[in-house]
Amino acid sequence: MSVTAVIGLQWGDEAKGKIVDLLTDQHEIVVRYLGGNNAGHTVKFDGQTYKLSLLPAGILRPGVQSVIANGVVINPKALLEEMKSITDRGLPIGENLIISDRGHVIFPYHHAEEAIFEASRGDSKIGTTMRGIGTCYRDKIGRAHAIRVGDFVRPAVLRKRLEEIVPYKNQILKCLDPNFKPFEVQALYDEYMGYADQLRPRVVDTTTFLHKALRDKKSILFEGAQGSLLDIDHGTFPYVTSSNASACGIQSGSGVPSRAIDRIIGVVKAYTTRVGGGPCPTELLDEIGQHIRDEGHEYGTVTGRPRRCGWLDTVATKYGANLAGVDCIAVMLLDVLGKLDELKICEAYEIDGERTTDFPSHVDDLAKAKPVYRTLPGWKKDITGVRRMADFPKEARAYLDSVSELVGAPVEIVSVGPDREQTVLS
């Protein structure tokens, strides 16, 4: 039995999906515990590409139990579409998927509110995925206007909650946007009842399920979404997502105590990417940044937005690793750097003339941070066929050694291409 967590240590899109998929054959249960369809996890094997947003990557392996736990915010329409896209490809979804009755449900008014809030920030907008994630979490914390999955699958409760909430939302939205067209309780009820009827058989108390699984010594894999630096408490606030995207979200998002976790694998892209607003000290706004974007196909899985690209920032990543409490790291997309003559790794920041390796707690300080780089020679070779650590060119090994030293954790997995097979284990 082992309980493992896979956590992104940067600003998301570190290729967590690939690592989770790789580990699903050693685990009986895969759990998504935070975020919603803001996540986009890509898995490639046998010439097939799967893009998962809400479904845990365990859904791709027959016999694995997939769990959408209480910390997830669920857009039921998006979930049903995603489930259909998977069953259309011949993979079954039935009892192998369970959804927590404690999860929270996203409604169209969450999207409307998000659009207004984002517009109100003008040039300093967060750059959210516009999936109603933050506004749904806001209602969860506020309690008065939240609808949980357990409410949504009970017709009388759903109706009552919509009757209480929708007039309030209409009033607020009308004040904020005079052109706003009010939501109708009946139309929302009819639409959501249609989704509830399809999802009801999958809804259970996943917390109790996971407690029993722990007692039965089942192996469990936690599939992180987003990344440590997007954590609502510890990330680059306010340019973050609205949940605990570092490992501290596991306990609140699933009900599994952190002491039950045996191993935390931190997933690190060999360089830096970020989508949306907020400072990114190592961002490259030149031809090297564009080269990395082209080689790594760095366009968002969810929104298609070009990702901001830069050198690996180990001040930020080490902080992410400390938040997650990693046992080891997986270095992803190393192949993408294979054509560059020389590579840089940020090993410290200079802020107001002072050198530091501490990650600033205020974004304004992070915005002032000038990266201090270590320069290494490139390997200038195609490494996509490498399958053993010993077979990497010596320059690639030196790069990995620097990453391990600066992030402060051993590199146990290296990924050299998107396919399941293109993986090197230490």
The residues of the shown chain that bind ligand GDP, judged by CB under 6 A, are: 8, 12-18, 40-42, 44, 296-297, 301, 332-333, 335-336, 415-418
Tokens read off for 72: 């997830």
**Residue among 301, 317, 322, 422 that touches Mg ion (CB under 5 A):** 301
By CB under 5 A, residue 223 contacts Mg ion: no
Site for ligand IMO in 267-296 (CB under 6 A): 275-276
Q: Do 270 and 344 contact (CB within 8 A), yes or no?
A: no
Q: Which does 56 bind (CB under 5 to 8 A by kind): ligand GDP, Mg ion, ligand IMO, none?
A: none
Does the protein bind ligand IMO through residue 210 (CB under 6 A)? no
Which residue lies nearer to ligand GDP by CB, 174 or 305? Answer: 305
Residue 129 is a binding residue for ligand IMO (CB under 6 A)? yes
Picked from ligand IMO, Mg ion, ligand GDP, none, the partner binding residue 333 (CB below 5 to 8 A depending on kind) is ligand GDP
Binding mask 359-398 for ligand IMO (x = CB under 6 A): ----------------------------------------
Catalytic residues: 13, 41
Contact positions with ligand IMO (CB under 6 A) in 133-152: 133-134
13 binds Mg ion (CB under 5 A): yes
Beta carbon nearer to Mg ion, 42 or 314: 42
| Residues at the contact surface with ligand IMO, assessed by CB under 6 A | 8, 11-13, 38-41, 126-129, 131, 133-134, 225-227, 230, 241-242, 275-276, 301
